[in-house]
Amino acid sequence: MPPSHPDVSATAVEPSTIMAMTDATPSSAQPAQAVLREAVHERIAELFTRDSAVFGRDLAPYRGHAQRVAALVMGQVDMRPDWVEPVAVASYYHDAAIWFEHTWDYLPGSESLAAQELSRTGHEGEAALVTAMIDEHHRVRPARNPHPLVEATRRADATDVYRLPLPPHVSRDDYRAMLKRFPDNGMHLMLGRGFVMGLKERKRLNPMPMVKL
């Protein structure tokens, strides 16, 4: 069972607050995007600070991965204030049940944890979107959900995990900057340990239960 958490509803950035901060006009569109992107990274950082003990030695590699996934998602879309919480929560929780529930079959648990977080912060209305972002993020083919954040999340995770070609609108220099700000810190060693967990847990029948065609 995941550990209980204090009420963190005050830490979630409300869309109305961000809208006031950005007040986007044609000349301020790029600064507005920067504000929204930074709000996502700050929200993810808050969650990792709160739950740092859960991740143990995998804190640094998973934190870097989650932040890069968020950055890659946001590099593919024009961010909106009401997308800050979904992108942050989906990026943070997309693999999180590996540590919260000690399982390699982690999609259902990660979706449940994300829904609980959205409920704590008063964003229950985003649960269906965040569930889809997590549930589809290991699909081999394009996501079976039309929302742009769902496919953006799938592409973002594939890029960071498998080093596949970069998603649309993200350059190699962009990705290098992401790695510089949010270092890898042994992410693939972390994934290797998870795969061994899967072999033991699934008795070799299906060591990759999260992958969908």
The whole-angstrom separation of Cα 178 and Cα 167 is 14
Q: Of 49, 39, 52, which is closest to residue 86 (Cα–Cα)?
A: 39
What is the domain count for the chain?
Answer: 1
Residue 166 lies in a domain: yes
Query: Is 100 part of any domain?
Result: yes
Asked if residue 168 belongs to a domain, the reply is yes
Choose among 91, 110, 131: nearest CA to 194.
Answer: 110
Instruction: List the chain pLDDT tens, one digit each, 213 residues.
Output: 444 444 443 456 565 555 444 444 444 567 799 999 999 999 999 999 999 999 999 999 999 999 999 999 999 999 999 999 999 999 999 999 999 999 989 999 999 999 999 999 999 999 999 999 999 999 999 999 999 999 999 999 999 998 878 999 999 999 999 999 999 998 878 877 766 776 666 555 676 778 888
- CA dihedral over 91, 161, 136, 177, signed as positive or negative: positive
Range of the domain at 168: 11-201
